[in-house]
A and B are shown apart, each in its own frame.
Chain A
């Protein structure tokens, strides 16, 4: 616990809050721009449509944010060569665990704020339906799991490589993957497909009427397996990252 609290102490003046605020602000402004003038049909199912829009937006925007967050947490140790001192006071495993927990707590708050902002936006625009609490909570949970897996992958890279360009490039490539995977299928077994897997709502576009209709997704067995894969990645990246960090030498 002491080690975890110190992680928050260490990231003072690292502007992690500012980075996340900027990310949330961009998403919110995009929401304002995209949804400010809804058609009556869109207004009727506005909160439902958000369960589609937010994961799609995250599939592109979140991978680099996870890379930046992990890098901001880990590079302070590389810059100041602190591992060789910290590892005489704590085991490498507990240091890794503290960093992971610190990042995950930030992610929990970040997505809670994101959902709150979008729900407020929906009310401000005047959506006529109401946010379905169960679906929103499930969506939030799946989002947390998939993006935590991404974060843990980035954290492992950031803690293992002193050169932060490597994890940052992986994060940027993840953003492109998120975009490409969307055009292939709405599910993927890759870590960057987690946000698509967690979209509980699908869209059907009618070219003749130029109307989009939203409906709750019925997961096929393959899609359910892809959702399960999110949790496999989550465990794999945590355990793998911790093991590799334990094995390295200073």
Chain B
């Protein structure tokens, strides 16, 4: 059975003046997934998420939420099944954490008991009576997540939720996000410019570069792109190259090295033996792995920052 996509965008485009921030995006977020929306700073992640939430009007294209195309009439009804945390947490500094949640609980029309539950989930129970202006950035971020979780929506959209958190806060937030689909049946879209972060949380990945989606599939598929290779450095590269060809191996030059696809240990030993028999000095033999980071950089362009 095909899994339903909770979010689907079709040719979603946003243009500011002459600049296309988001260019014909076809996003597909399957139900129950943790969808990592990855891209360098300024790639168009936040603009895309804002368009999905109706905070910014698309220049072109359409958005389907929970299988229903979004329009002006049904936007609020569809979004009532979502929670969001966009860019920075939203809060009233002069009110306590609990009072902040009371406002959203009333607007969402969910049970009052949800306030206690979400405070417990984000571990803010002890600070519930404290004014939010006295919260640390990490606490505000956790309150933002608690606000998004109120009513336990079907879909949670988190834009860079670990921004400004210390390492332990990041770890805590990560664990929390990872537990949401299994414990509460929530589908999560989490955006980040950090590959490592998405690698540790997501099971589906969308990579955006200059407003265009350059990759969208499971994290497993992305990992499959991480090819292993063997690098050889010998005294006579030209002879080595012909020997490799005779063995049916395509080699690519990388500075002083010749790169060949990964082969098993037996074949590696045979190759070394042949090099010795032909008096080709073997200086180095190394296993090389194209990391996820390399793939990300090749997809998003090396000039962009991580």
Contact = CB atoms under 8 A, between A and B. Distances in A.
Interface in A1-56: 2-3, 5-6, 9-10, 12-14
B56, B79, B92, B102 — most chain A CB neighbours (10 Å): B92
A85 B157 CA distance: 11
A2 to B, nearest CB: 6
B236 interface: no
A6 B53 contact: no
Nearest to B72: A91
Contacts of B91: 80, 82
A83 B90 CA distance: 8
A250 interface: yes
A88 B93 contact: no
B240 to A, nearest CB: 60
A3 B94 contact: no
B54 A85 contact: no
A9 B96 CA distance: 12
A88 B56 contact: no
B202 interface: no
Contacts, number: 77
B108 interface: yes
Contact of B93 (A80, A89, A249): A80
Interface stretch (B3-11, B34-42, B80-88, B115-123): B80-88
Given A85-B104, A250-B56, A90 B90 contact: no
A82 B92 contact: yes
Interface in B178-192: none
B112 to A, nearest CB: 14
Contacts of B111: none
Interface of A: 2-3, 5-6, 9-10, 12-14, 76, 79-91, 249-250
14 contacts: A6-B103, A9-B99, A12-B95, A12-B99, A14-B94, A79-B92, A81-B88, A82-B92, A84-B53, A84-B55, A84-B90, A85-B104, A88-B84, A250-B55
